Amino acid sequence: MSWTDERVELLKKMWGEGQSASQIAKELGGVTRNAVIGKVHRLGLSNRATASATAKPDPKPKPAAKAEVKEKPAPKPAEAVAKAEPEPPAPKLPARKQIIPAGQPLPPQPSANEISPEALAKVSEIEKKAKRLSLMELTERTCKWPVGDPATEDFWFCGLPVQQGKPYCEAHVGVAFQPMSSRRDRRR
C-alpha cells in the first residue's frame, strides 16, 4: 500500500473530524492503525484535544427543575474563622535515605564484628585455600568473592567452587547472605 495524495487528503480530513486512527485505517483499507498514527506524526498533524475539551457549550441554559431552594449560610466573619479549630499537623513523612553523588566516598559500612565469628573463621580458612583468580579467569562455577583493594595488584577473587545457585563458595555465602532475623536485630 502506498500513500497516494487522495489517501493522504482523506486521512487529513478524517483526522481533522476527530475520527480515531482505527476508524481511519478501516476506511482507507490496507493499512493498520499504527500506519495511520505514523503518517499523522510524519505529516505533523496537530494532536487533538479530548472530547470534553472540544465539546461545544450548550447555548441555552437548561431550566432549573422545580425543587426546594436552600439558602446558603451567611459567611462567617473573619474573627469566627480565626477562632475555629486549628488544622491537625501534617503527617510526618519517613526520613529519606541520603543519596551519595558518584565519586564520593560511601558512609561507613557494617563492621566485621557484626558478622558471626564462625563465619569469619570459616572465611579466613577458605581464603588460605583460595585459587586467587583474576577477573578474566572467573567462570560461572567459580566463587566471585573479591579480596583486597581493586586499585592494587594484590587484588583477586576466591575462585573456589560455588554453592548451587549462588555466586559464591559456601564460606562466602555464609557472610554475604545472612538470615533475615539477624539483619533486623542490627537495625534496632
Position 187 scores a pLDDT of 58
- Residue 85 counted as domain residue: no
User: Which amino acid, 72?
Assistant: K
- Does the residue 64 lie in any domain? no
CA dist 130 → 39, 59, 112, 171 (Å): 63, 86, 20, 11
Task: Please tell me the predicted confidence (pLDDT) of residue 27.
Answer: 92
* Residue-range definition of the domain harbouring residue 182: 113-187
The set of residues, in sequence order, having a beta carbon less than 8 Å from that of 21 and lying 6+ positions away, is 33, 34, 36, 37, 40
Q: 42 lies in a domain? A: yes
133 residue type, one letter: L
Residue ranges in 44-135 assigned as alpha helix (H) = 51-54, 78-82, 117-129
Does position 53 have pLDDT exceeding 60, yes or no? Answer: no
pLDDT band at 112 (very low <50, low <70, confident <90, very high): very low
Asked if the structure places residue 11 within a domain, the reply is: yes
- Number of structural domains found in the chain: 2
CA nearest 138: which of 129, 146, 148?
A: 146
CA distance to 75, 83, 91, per residue, from 87 (Å)? 19, 11, 12
Bridge partners for 174 per DSSP: none
